[in-house]
């Protein structure tokens, strides 16, 4: 059953506001002075440059305003004095040129300022209680690029765009040229915790362990929710290494027969072949009872065929015997299904980045600049959450 989670902040409400009202609220949550300081020229020669903090604000405002290119950003700064003023740029001189905007963007990329700002925002939201981080959803999404095609071998060396293939929910094959955006998202707030960009051909399962490790370094995850494409033993092991449980549906394609007396989902069977009833867990030990004793089936032999106890036969399974097949909570229980339903939070986060912002409108080349572009989009979501949280507290 699909359950629509209520988002902690209404990003959509922020988008409905007029630009002149939205931008002051958005900028109120950002102190860019430490980052702008690193972009200032150290040379005493030459004319005074444009305010680097103002240009940084403009680069962050661009996704929120649906501005996908530096040319369009320059045009907006040149023609909209209110927008230029709200970005903190001087009105008594011309707007920053396209080349100036490009140089600043390149400096932000070289010094990884967008990544640092993103990580600082995540830490700040964690302190303010906006980010919980105990339940984390992981998924990837396609990012289309318009770069020169190159052989896969060269792409593996440079890390730049390549062809990717995946199946949609209907089993249709989708191909694209570009990148993959891998996200780990807090399911409560639907905000990104970790972001990573790879060429489109990189397998999702290869990146999941690293995303889990990074998420665990910033929060204390208890559960990771992922789709069946991540059903690999190393993903379960990575979750356990950070003291969490991976909630992943089994991918039964090319699956071997389960062990004798066991269902594919890890449920043991009684001597009559009926699936036993899950009866809770004690640490890593899952407990299953006779289905006749629990009223799940009407066994013709009753309980006596399996056990002389009036409690019925009991089977205990250690999840450490097979981390992929066994799970706590047990697969297909209400608790397990409720946890897995939270995975849709990462899909909604991806949709906001690609549909409401400009994550899927790439006009830069190379994985370093693409990563900066996507970090700027993700920072917009985080900054919007801080602004909405403060606004809600002020109204209250």
331-363: b (≥16 Cβ within 10 Å) or e: bbeeebeebbbbbbbbebbbebbbebbbbbbbe
- What does the pLDDT read at residue 396? 56
Summarize pLDDT for 313-359 with one digit per residue, the tens: 899 999 999 899 999 999 989 999 999 999 999 999 999 999 999 99
Say what angle helices 98-110 and 52-64 make with each other, to 10 degrees.
Answer: 90
Confidence band for 87, pLDDT divided at 50, 70 and 90:
very high
pLDDT at position 215: 95
pLDDT of residue 20: 76
- Please indicate whether residue 322 or residue 183 has the higher confidence score (pLDDT): 183
Residue 257: is its pLDDT beyond 50? yes
- Residue 33 confidence (pLDDT) above 70: yes
In DSSP terms, 197 is beta-bridged to 181
Tokens of 46: 């030459």
Q: What is the pLDDT of residues 217-232, one digit of tens each?
A: 999 999 999 999 999 9
């Amino acid at each position: 059953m699909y359950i629509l989670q209520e988002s902690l902040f209404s990003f959509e409400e922020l988008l409905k506001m007029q630009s002149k009202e939205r931008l002051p609220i958005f900028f109120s949550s950002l102190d860019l002075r430490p980052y702008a300081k690193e972009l200032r020229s150290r040379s005493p020669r030459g004319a005074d440059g444009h305010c680097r903090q103002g240009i940084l604000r403009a680069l962050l405002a661009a996704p929120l305003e649906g501005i996908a290119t530096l040319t369009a950003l320059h045009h907006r700064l040149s023609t909209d004095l209110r927008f230029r003023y709200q970005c903190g740029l001087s009105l008594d001189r011309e707007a920053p040129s396209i080349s100036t905007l490009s140089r600043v963007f390149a400096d932000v990329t070289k010094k990884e300022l967008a990544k640092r700002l993103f990580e600082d925002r995540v830490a700040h939201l964690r302190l303010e209680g906006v980010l919980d981080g105990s339940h984390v959803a992981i998924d990837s999404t396609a990012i289309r690029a318009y770069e020169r095609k190159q052989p896969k071998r060269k792409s593996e060396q440079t890390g730049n765009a390549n062809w990717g293939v995946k199946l949609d929910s209907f089993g249709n094959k989708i191909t694209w040229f570009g990148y993959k955006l891998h996200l780990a998202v807090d399911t409560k707030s639907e905000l990104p915790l970790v972001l990573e960009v790879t060429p489109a051909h990189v397998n999702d399962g290869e990146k999941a362990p690293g995303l889990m490790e990074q998420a665990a370094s910033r929060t204390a995850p208890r559960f990771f929710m992922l789709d069946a494409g991540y059903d690999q033993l190393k993903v379960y092991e990575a979750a356990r290494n950070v003291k969490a449980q991976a909630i992943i549906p089994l991918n039964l394609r090319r699956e071997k027969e389960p062990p004798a007396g066991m269902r594919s989902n890890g449920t043991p069977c009684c001597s009559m072949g009926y699936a036993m009833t899950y009866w809770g867990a004690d640490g890593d030990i899952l407990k299953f009872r006779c289905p006749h004793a629990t009223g799940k089936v009407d066994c013709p032999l009753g309980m006596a065929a399996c056990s002389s106890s009036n409690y019925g036969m009991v089977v205990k399974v250690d999840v450490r015997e097979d981390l992929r097949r066994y799970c706590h909570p047990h697969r297909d229980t209400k608790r397990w299904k409720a946890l897995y339903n939270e995975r849709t939070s990462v899909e909604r986060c991806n949709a906001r980045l690609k549909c409401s912002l400009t994550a899927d409108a790439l006009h830069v080349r190379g994985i370093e600049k693409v990563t900066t572009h996507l970090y700027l989009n993700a920072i917009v979501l985080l900054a919007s959450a801080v602004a909405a949280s403060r606004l809600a507290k002020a109204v209250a």
